[in-house]
């Protein structure tokens, strides 16, 4: 009941660079290669069947060509409501190393 007016916690895996751009980093399960994905609201995020937003993005690592898929679900205010990964694991923003 008391969470009604609280601001939801941000996703630990997603960094918002500006009002339109997001970044996420994943590690492939096969070789442990780190891949960064950058996506925007207007070009990459689509509307799901229930009216919320969804990003479904294939991942291919550049060195070993490991494959995976990332699915991120957003509510109507672009707050993350769920994350799924196949063949990759999300890396929390707190563990990102500078480029």
**Which tens digits make up the pLDDT trace of 84-96?**
999 999 999 999 8
Q: What is the pLDDT of residue 98?
A: 78
Residue 2 lies in a domain: no
Residue 95 lies in a domain: no
* Dihedrals phi, psi of 56, to nearest 5 degrees: -125, 115
Residue 98 CB partners (closer than 8 Å, separation 6+): none
> In the numeric block, which tokens belong to residue 46?
């689509």
Residue 74 lies in a domain: yes
Question: Strands 88-90 and 53-60: what pairing?
Answer: unpaired
Question: Does the pLDDT at position 66 exceed 80?
Answer: yes
Residue 9 lies in a domain: no
Question: Does the pLDDT at position 3 exceed 60?
Answer: no
Residue 24 lies in a domain: yes
Residue 76 lies in a domain: yes
Evaluate whether 69 touches 87 at the Cβ level (below 8 Å): yes
Q: How many domains does the chain have?
A: 1
Residue 59 lies in a domain: yes
Residue 77 lies in a domain: yes
| pTM for the predicted model, two decimal places | 0.85
Q: What is the pLDDT of residue 4?
A: 60
Q: What is the pLDDT of residue 7?
A: 60
Residue range(s) defining the domain that contains residue 52: 14-88
pLDDT in tens, 5-61: 566 667 889 998 998 999 999 999 999 999 999 999 989 999 999 889 999 999 999
């Amino acid at each position: 009941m008391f969470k009604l007016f609280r601001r939801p916690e941000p996703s630990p895996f997603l960094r918002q660079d500006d009002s339109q751009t997001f970044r996420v980093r994943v590690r492939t399960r096969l070789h442990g290669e780190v891949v960064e994905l950058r996506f925007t609201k207007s070009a990459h995020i689509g509307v799901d069947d229930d009216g919320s937003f969804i990003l479904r993005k294939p991942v291919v690592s550049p060195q070993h060509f490991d494959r995976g898929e990332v699915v991120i679900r957003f509510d109507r205010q672009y707050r993350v409501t769920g994350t799924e990964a196949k063949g990759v694991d999300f890396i929390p923003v707190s563990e990102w190393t500078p480029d």
